[in-house]
Amino acid sequence: MTVVRIDGQLRKEGVAELEKVCQAIEGALCLDLANLHSVDGDGIRAIRMLEEHGAAVAGLSPYVQRLLNRAAQ
């Protein structure tokens, strides 16, 4: 399993790079969000899309978990 760690912020400007990195990974993918402190709507959509394509997500703070739950509704 390949782990991609996202630290700090995930905003519109970084989404394309995240998608590029993740598309190049063969096999299982895990997004480590333990150090993700801020995420905008584009970042939430990117995380949700990667989850829908099989990525595991680890280390969610209550804040990011709440944002992901709202985006799913």
- What is the pLDDT confidence band of residue 63, given thresholds at 50, 70 and 90? confident
Task: Render pLDDT for 27-59 as a digit per residue (tens, 0 to 9).
Answer: 999 999 999 999 999 999 999 999 999 999 999
- What is the pLDDT confidence band of residue 1, given thresholds at 50, 70 and 90? very high
pTM of the predicted protein model:
0.87
| Domains of the chain, residue spans | 2-72
Distance of alpha carbon 43 from the chain centroid: 7
Could you tell me the CATH superfamily of domain 2-72? STAS domain (3.30.750.24)
| Residue indicated by tokens 């509704």 | 73
Q: How far apart are CA 46 and CA 36, in angstroms?
A: 14
- What is the pLDDT confidence band of residue 68, given thresholds at 50, 70 and 90? confident
Tokens of 44: 């939430």
Q: Strand, helix or coil at 50?
A: helix
E-strand stretches of 1-73: 2-5, 8-10, 29-32, 36-39, 56-58
